[in-house]
């Protein structure tokens, strides 16, 4: 019962958040804002608060042989555009998209499923390139979805488009396999949001590592630490999704002792970083170490993130002090370790941001060049926050984190692709049968709807 209740609260929260955000315009408006529903025509209606445009008979119709549009099977878990139809092909096809110059998000949406006897779920295997970058190589969508425990996949990348350049996204099936795509988003981002610019401080554990226009990025984690999930519609205008799942990446001690401070009433001042950097909800919730000084000092607040080896990663930590006790430099100073190296000898959020209520973020680039253990494909990035041992440097022996983003950086060949995951043990695959997900999916909006109506009634009374 408990998970369902939690789920209910979460969806209710999201629902209210969406209603709330709908009333005001977000801090950032993207110049390019393209949402392509592949294999669709016209404007298929969608219930995700966004309009999607079909790629059939449009200026975005891809070039290539024999690419087909097929409905997802009725049994599919995905009842929502753009997942209801796909463009599939056994030969290469290319989308050519005219864009304004600048840095962009590219989001690829996949619903691996059996679309017809010729297009079986487990038989897709393909590569995707965009501009001069390899985004995915011999990508096995079905096993990737199975390993993630879900049925849908979204992959988010960042690339820079030069003046006069048209973006070409090419899907190339591997031998004897097919390629498919359900949805493509191209959304502009503020210049220098993730790429290096004068306003953007990049610090490297090993050495200086600027992120320039000839680099592509792939988002691997984006987490509202200690808070609720944030839907694309409630982002700051870039339609980013923020997961809430930082708990599952904590080590056991941190799971046991850490606490979740929050302040829903604080007025935030975006003076240290632009308002579009992260949604306010990210800055108003966080995770810290607990109430006991001895215990605070005895453990590191530790998250463990599995990553593909042999890449550099941009790690962005979002901070905001919002507790009324923490108002000046030295109230809560701590240390940050990444990949077992010191990233900050003396971290102090007020020192960086200027005041309580001012959000700020810090960037680090970490190289993950160690070898995986045994037959594992991933290597673990340890992110550790440590309370200061010496009381004279800090009023509270504590640490805080509010949000986190981790991006993989393209290598010198312009490659971002890593290996496919192993298939999960069969036992793990059984619970996520399409019927159970479907019944949840159809039940939730009803419950949320009823609850919202009750709340509305209560607020009117």
Ligand X SMILES: *[C@@H]1O[C@H](CO)[C@@H](O)[C@H](O)[C@H]1NC(C)=O
Residues in contact with ligand X by the rule CB under 6 A: 29-30, 33, 35, 50-51, 101-103, 122-123, 125, 140, 142-143, 160, 177, 191, 213, 259, 263, 265-266, 288-296, 298-300, 322-324, 337, 340, 356-357, 370, 382, 384, 386, 396-398, 423
Backbone φ and ψ of 401, nearest 5°: -140, 135
- In angstroms, give the least distance from the CB of 263 to ligand X: 4
- In angstroms, give the least distance from the CB of 427 to ligand X: 16
Backbone φ and ψ of 277, nearest 5°: -55, -45
Tokens representing 197 are: 């610019």
Residue 247 DSSP symbol:
G
DSSP 161-228: E-TTPEEEEEEEEPTT-BEEESEEEEEE--TTSSS--TT--EEESSS-----TT--EEEEEEE-TTS-
Tokens representing 55 are: 């790629």
Ramachandran quadrant class, 392 (left: phi over 0; alpha: psi -120 to 50; beta: rest) = alpha
- In angstroms, give the least distance from the CB of 358 to ligand X: 11
- What are the strands, taking DSSP E only, across 237-324? 287-288, 300-307, 311-319
Backbone φ and ψ of 11, nearest 5°: -70, -35
- In angstroms, give the least distance from the CB of 65 to ligand X: 20
């800090």: which residue's tokens?
394
Asked if 386 contacts 337 with a C-beta cutoff of 8 angstroms, the reply is yes
SS3 assignment, position 277: helix
Of residues 22 and 63, the one with the C-beta less far from ligand X: 22
Residue 145 DSSP symbol:
H
Of residues 57 and 345, the one with the C-beta less far from ligand X: 345
Nearest to 26 by CA among 276, 360, 278, 361: 276
Residue 354 DSSP symbol:
S
Burial class (CB in 10 A: 0-12, 13-18, 19+), 224: buried
Of residues 8 and 382, the one with the C-beta less far from ligand X: 382
- In angstroms, give the least distance from the CB of 395 to ligand X: 7
- In angstroms, give the least distance from the CB of 459 to ligand X: 23
Of residues 297 and 438, the one with the C-beta less far from ligand X: 297
Size (the chain), residues: 461
Of residues 429 and 439, the one with the C-beta less far from ligand X: 429
Angle (deg, nearest 10), helices 2-22 and 434-460: 60
Of residues 95 and 299, the one with the C-beta less far from ligand X: 299
Of residues 94 and 123, the one with the C-beta less far from ligand X: 123
SS3 assignment, position 427: helix
Of residues 351 and 451, the one with the C-beta less far from ligand X: 351
- In angstroms, give the least distance from the CB of 108 to ligand X: 17
Task: Give the count of alpha carbons within 13 A of 233, CB side only.
Answer: 16
**Chain position whose Cβ is nearest to ligand X:** 293
Of residues 261 and 438, the one with the C-beta less far from ligand X: 261
Of residues 102 and 438, the one with the C-beta less far from ligand X: 102
**How far apart, in whole angstroms, are the C-alpha atoms of residue 70 and residue 116?**
8
Q: Torsion angle, CA of 237/243/249/252, rounded to 10 degrees?
A: 120
- In angstroms, give the least distance from the CB of 452 to ligand X: 22
DSSP 404-423: EEEEEEP-TTSB---PPPPP
Of residues 412 and 458, the one with the C-beta less far from ligand X: 412
Residue 431 DSSP symbol:
G
- In angstroms, give the least distance from the CB of 454 to ligand X: 27
- In angstroms, give the least distance from the CB of 294 to ligand X: 4
**How far apart, in whole angstroms, are the C-alpha atoms of residue 341 and residue 426?**
38
- In angstroms, give the least distance from the CB of 105 to ligand X: 12
Of residues 293 and 432, the one with the C-beta less far from ligand X: 293
- In angstroms, give the least distance from the CB of 418 to ligand X: 15
């Amino acid at each position: 019962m408990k998970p369902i209740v939690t789920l209910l609260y979460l969806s209710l929260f999201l629902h209210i958040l969406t209603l709330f955000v709908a009333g005001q315009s977000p801090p950032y408006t993207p110049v390019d804002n393209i949402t392509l529903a592949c294999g669709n025509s016209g404007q298929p209606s969608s219930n995700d608060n966004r309009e999607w445009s079909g790629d059939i008979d449009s200026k975005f119709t891809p070039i290539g042989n024999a690419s087909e549009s097929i409905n997802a099977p009725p049994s599919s878990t995905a009842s929502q555009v753009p997942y209801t139809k796909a463009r599939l092909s056994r030969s290469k096809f290319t989308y050519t998209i005219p864009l304004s110059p600048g840095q962009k998000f590219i989001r690829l949406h996949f619903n691996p499923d059996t679309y017809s006897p010729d297009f079986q779920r487990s038989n897709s295997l393909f590569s995707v390139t965009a501009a001069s970058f390899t985004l995915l190589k011999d990508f096995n969508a079905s096993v990737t979805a199975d390993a993630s425990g879900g049925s849908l996949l979204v992959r988010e990348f960042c690339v820079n488009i030069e003046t006069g350049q048209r973006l070409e996204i090419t899907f190339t099936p591997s031998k004897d396999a097919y390629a498919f795509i359900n949805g493509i988003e191209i959304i502009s981002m503020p210049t220098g949001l993730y790429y290096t610019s004068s306003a953007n401080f990049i610090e490297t554990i090993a050495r200086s590592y600027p992120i320039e226009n000839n680099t592509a990025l792939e988002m691997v984690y984006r987490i509202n630490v200690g808070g609720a999930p944030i839907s694309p519609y409630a982002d700051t205008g870039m339609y980013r999704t923020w997961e809430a799942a930082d708990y599952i990446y904590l080590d056991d001690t941190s799971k046991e002792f850490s606490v979740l401070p929050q302040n829903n009433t604080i007025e935030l001042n975006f003076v240290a970083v632009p308002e579009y950097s992260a949604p306010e909800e990210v800055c108003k919730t966080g995770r810290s170490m607990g109430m006991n000084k001895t215990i605070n000092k005895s453990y590191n607040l530790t998250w463990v993130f599995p990553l593909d080896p042999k890449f550099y990663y941009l790690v962005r930590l979002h901070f905001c002090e919002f507790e009324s006790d923490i108002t000046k430099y030295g109230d809560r100073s701590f240390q940050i370790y990444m990949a077992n190296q010191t990233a900050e000898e003396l971290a102090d959020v007020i020192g960086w941001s200027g005041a309580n209520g001012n959000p700020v973020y810090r960037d680090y680039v970490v190289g993950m060049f160690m070898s995986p253990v045994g037959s594992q494909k991933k290597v673990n990035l340890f992110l550790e926050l440590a309370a200061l041992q010496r009381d004279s440097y800090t009023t509270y022996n504590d640490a805080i984190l509010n949000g986190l983003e981790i991006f993989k950086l393209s290598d010198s060949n312009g490659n971002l692709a890593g290996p496919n995951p192993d298939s999960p043990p069969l036992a793990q695959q059984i619970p996520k049968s399409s019927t159970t997900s479907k019944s949840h999916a159809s039940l939730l909006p009803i419950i949320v709807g009823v609850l919202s109506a009750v709340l509305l009634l209560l607020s009117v009374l």
